[in-house]
Structure 1
Amino acid sequence: MSSKIRYGLLTVIVAAGAISGYLYLHQSDEQTQQVAHAIEYSASSEQPLDGSAQKNSTQMAVELAVQYLESYGDTIADPVTQARLYNERRALMEKYPEDGAHLFESAIETAFPELHEDIMVLMANLDRYNTWLDDNELRLHALPTLKQEMEIWQQREAIFGALASQIWGEEESYLEEKSQVFRKKVAHLENANELQLTELAHQLQTSAEEVYGGGMSLQFVGSGALGHALFSLESVQHRLEQMPSDKRQQAINDLRLQLGYSEGAVERMAKQDQIREAKWQKGEVYSAERDALIQRLSGEDLDQALGELREKHFGMAAPTIAREEEDGFYRFDRPRQYGLN
């Protein structure tokens, strides 16, 4: 037997010892037998192992399995750990373009047979996710930071579901921490009825920039988050509610301009506000007439009268309103929030 072959067999025997010892502690007898079979096969092939290009693929898969067990075995059941294997796979595929994917899967099946399928599904989903990132790289870079983060998280949740918050948990925790700091900073604005609307908007912008960084208010505007935060304040709603409708709309427009919305965006949003206003006015009339019917009628007579009333006010949307009310939801009984609903 040549020295090269003896060296190759010694490498496989060392790998066999390492992997067998680990499996004795961490895996079942059946899994140990699977790995032992692979090791026995690779040893019997007597292929030289003195160069990466010359190694038998099974021998290489066994060596990789040893590496993966040593590096990831203790926590491999955790999806976060499984996701870390993605970089191992990409490096392997770059080094061996033709065989890298097969080598990786063989190593995973050898090292973690019970989790092999789950890991490979995760790898495929990470491929999908990274392909999406590549395809949308230029568009994402052109977006405001907050909008970019929102789109990325939406895509993660669409592909990975509940696993997204586990895989990127640290990042999510960071964003949630920032969000909590921001909420604490603006909590005093909630009932600051003594402040003018322009001052409320200014303090909200200032708080956003302090927490998220300079220029962040414009990025919040891009996602609509800053406007939503402003119009969600009780103090803002209190002042808007006291205004006549025409002055109220002008005040809303001015606030949006102050936050950084473009004039075109403000005009489009004002039109949407007017559509919502018309719906609320119709809803108030409907609610009053519905209450009157409930006071006078009952049973089938009430059901028929309510059906006719919904048809009168809402036309094709009447069945939707009926289903909502059957479920105990009355859309016009919820709080009115000017600038939002």
Structure 2
Amino acid sequence: MHILKNLRRFFFAPARLGAMASLLILLPVLYMVLKGPQEGWDVSDWLIVGNEKQSDSGTTEEVQAEAREGQTAEAETVAIIGRQVSFSKLIPDQDVQLISTLHDYFGVDIVELDRQVEMLDKLFAYLKHQYPGESWDALEAIIRSAYPARAEELLDLAKKLGEYRQWFEDQQDFSGFSGPERRELIWQMRMEIFGVEAAEEIWNHELRNETITDAMKRIGQLEGTSLHEKMDYLLESIDSVYDEGVDLIGEDLRLSLLNVFLGLDGVQVDLHAASAAERADSLLELRRAIGYDDAAISRLTELDVIRDERWSAGQQYLQERQRIVADYQGAEQTQQLKQLGRDYFGDEAGTIEAELQAGFNRFEQKRVFGKN
């Protein structure tokens, strides 16, 4: 079987493999593609040209015999033993299945830069694993076949990615730079290599995150503003990076944003200073503003009530516990404490008592309204 016939399964679901043997063969390949370009990835291969082949130290005697007889090993055999074979023998100029896979997954024409980068990353990770030392030649052949109208554009982008990643790797850990300095240096290099507009398009998601993160920092430093003014500032920041505002934000991101916002000291100062009724109204308004629907708001409001009751019970429990410790000794004290814990916390009493004995008091931890 041609090794590239497995690429469709490589990009999609392993469950579609026809046999367990094929699955075992593809596992390391699947890992490489899904992992993508991570730290430690040998980015220098992006810049390799020519057909420099590595040693055949992994070749078995059977395959050596086939080679002597002028026969080409099956792709599965090559994948198992890791034998290096010139890609030109395995990748024809026109590979229908490979082109179909790329078109199915990325489309017949890739316009968006971020999608082009994703395609190049996934494709090159696969080729780098299959054809060490010949990855660039393989990439060029495939791109020219799959996207002839955009071949020069895509290959130019691939070279820029290689240059950028090589620079990034050369920086190692950016020692000596603060966080803001590191971010500025990275963006300067991105814009220098790709151009301002292209860099912002490729890393648009990162720009959004940075904008929201900066907004959170500024909110935390605001003085003399109300809780609602702080929330308005956050919503304005969200609107500046999402065309449709909070309506475009996914559930996970919405929860994350609200939790970060509620964790800001200035926000908690406002919530602690409010009455119970005012606090409940503020939390409801905050959740509605960030995009929660009525059902979710209702569930969270009920959870707030449970949390308030639990914290109140905790404070009462601690007061009663102090009285028992002062008034009783020995076995009687132990019995009284056990009963007190069961009265307040039921089956969880043993856990709370064990925490107290170990020096941890959950009811003396910082209360973060809306979160715990």
TM-score by length of 1: 0.52
Contact 1:209 1:216 in 2 (8 A): yes
**Alpha-carbon distance in structure 1 between the residues aligned to 2:69 and 2:220:** 75
**Secondary structure of the structure 2 residue equivalent to 1:208:** helix
Per-residue CA distance 1:198-223 (angstroms, 9 max, x = gap): 2111111222344x533353344622
Are 2:62 and 1:45 aligned? no
Are 2:222 and 1:203 aligned? no
Gap runs ≥5 in structure 1: 1-16, 24-30, 48-54, 69-82, 91-103, 109-172
What is the CA-CA distance between 1:330 and the residue it aligns to?
1.7
**Secondary structure of the structure 1 residue equivalent to 2:287:** helix
Check 1:183–1:63 CA distance in 2 against 1; reply closer, same or farther (3 A cut). Answer: closer
Are 2:231 and 1:214 aligned? no
Determine the structure 2 residue equivalent to 1:250: 281
Contact 1:217 1:226 in 2 (8 A): no
**What amino acid is the match of 1:195?**
T
Gap runs ≥5 in structure 2: 1-50, 88-121, 133-202
Report which of the two has the higher share of helix.
Answer: 1
Are 2:254 and 1:238 aligned? no
What is the CA-CA distance between 1:332 and the residue it aligns to?
1.0
Are 2:84 and 1:65 aligned? yes
**Alpha-carbon distance in structure 1 between the residues aligned to 2:353 and 2:326:** 18
Per-residue CA distance 1:74-99 (angstroms, 9 max, x = gap): xxxxxxxxx87874599xxxxxxxxx
Per-residue CA distance 1:149-187 (angstroms, 9 max, x = gap): xxxxxxxxxxxxxxxxxxxxxxxx996775455333321
Check 1:317–1:189 CA distance in 2 against 1; reply closer, same or farther (3 A cut). Answer: same
Check 1:199–1:58 CA distance in 2 against 1; reply closer, same or farther (3 A cut). Answer: closer
**What amino acid is the match of 1:201?**
M
Determine the structure 2 residue equivalent to 1:323: 354
**What amino acid is the match of 1:41?**
A
Determine the structure 2 residue equivalent to 1:339: 370
Contact 2:211 2:237 in 1 (8 A): no
Of all paired residues, the percent bearing the same amino acid is 21
**Alpha-carbon distance in structure 2 between the residues aligned to 1:284 and 1:207:** 39
**What amino acid is the match of 2:251?**
G
Are 2:293 and 1:262 aligned? yes
Larger radius of gyration: 1
Determine the structure 2 residue equivalent to 1:227: 258
What is the CA-CA distance between 1:286 and the residue it aligns to?
0.8
Contact 1:186 1:207 in 2 (8 A): no
**Alpha-carbon distance in structure 2 between the residues aligned to 1:312 and 1:63:** 66
**Alpha-carbon distance in structure 2 between the residues aligned to 1:87 and 1:222:** 33
**What amino acid is the match of 2:218?**
H
Determine the structure 2 residue equivalent to 1:123: none
**Alpha-carbon distance in structure 1 between the residues aligned to 2:52 and 2:360:** 63
Check 1:185–1:292 CA distance in 2 against 1; reply closer, same or farther (3 A cut). Answer: same
**What amino acid is the match of 1:222?**
E
**Alpha-carbon distance in structure 2 between the residues aligned to 1:331 and 1:64:** 59
**Secondary structure of the structure 1 residue equivalent to 2:355:** helix
**What amino acid is the match of 1:289?**
E
**What amino acid is the match of 1:57?**
E
Check 1:63–1:278 CA distance in 2 against 1; reply closer, same or farther (3 A cut). Answer: closer
What is the CA-CA distance between 1:274 and the residue it aligns to?
0.8
Between 329-338 and 276-285, report the one with greater CA deviation.
329-338
Contact 1:231 1:237 in 2 (8 A): yes
**Alpha-carbon distance in structure 2 between the residues aligned to 1:176 and 1:291:** 51
What is the CA-CA distance between 1:304 and the residue it aligns to?
3.8
TM-score by length of 2: 0.48
What is the CA-CA distance between 1:309 and the residue it aligns to?
1.9
